[in-house]
């Protein structure tokens, strides 16, 4: 319907949503859902709907999915920009911000090991045990 909501809170299987423009434009519109079905609407929007909101959401989802691959950051941005419509592109963040977002998402998924107290606690596993070409990273440690 052109409006975007963020999850405000949950209570049991009921989820309460608020308009994303609640802080910016003091919009009072809310939704209540049960099992992803709208059961109650509260208030009216005090702003016009954004018809390209679904395209923006799809664009962000595509970037999120591509950030899990081994593609370079620049390639991800270039690929997603090439497929996006002009209305979506006009509402996006600058390219540098998109690249930073991809880098942050990748860094969050690395799962760095905790700070260790002794050498006997070191266990290299997961993505740290392999090189980019999927070869064994550490053959022997003297």
Q: Considering the chain, what percentage of its residues have pLDDT values greater than 70?
A: 91
Indicate if 23 and 68 belong to the same structural domain: no
Average predicted confidence (pLDDT) for the chain? 85
Look at residue 136 and tell me if it is in a domain.
Answer: no
Q: In the prediction, which pLDDT does 135 show?
A: 80
pTM for this predicted structure: 0.58
Look at residue 38 and tell me if it is in a domain.
Answer: yes
Strand-strand pairing, 5-11 and 14-19: antiparallel
Q: In the prediction, which pLDDT does 116 show?
A: 75
Indicate if 35 and 62 belong to the same structural domain: no
Look at residue 97 and tell me if it is in a domain.
Answer: yes
Instruction: Tell me which residue range forms the domain holding 83.
Output: 53-108
Q: In the prediction, which pLDDT does 112 show?
A: 67
- Number of domain units in the chain: 2
């Amino acid at each position: 319907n052109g409006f975007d909501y963020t999850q405000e809170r949950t209570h049991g299987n009921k989820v309460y949503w608020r308009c994303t423009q609640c802080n910016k434009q003091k919009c009072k519109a809310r939704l209540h859902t049960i099992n992803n079905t709208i059961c109650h609407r509260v208030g009216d929007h005090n702003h016009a709907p954004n018809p390209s909101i679904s395209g923006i959401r799809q664009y962000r989802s595509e970037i999120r999915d591509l950030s899990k691959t081994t593609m370079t950051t620049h390639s991800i941005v270039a690929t997603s920009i090439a497929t996006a419509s002009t209305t979506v592109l006009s509402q996006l963040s600058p390219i540098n911000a998109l690249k930073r977002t991809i880098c942050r998402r990748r860094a969050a998924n690395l799962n760095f090991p905790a700070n260790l107290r002794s050498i006997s606690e070191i266990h290299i596993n997961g993505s740290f045990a392999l090189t980019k070409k999927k070869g064994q990273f550490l053959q022997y440690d003297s």
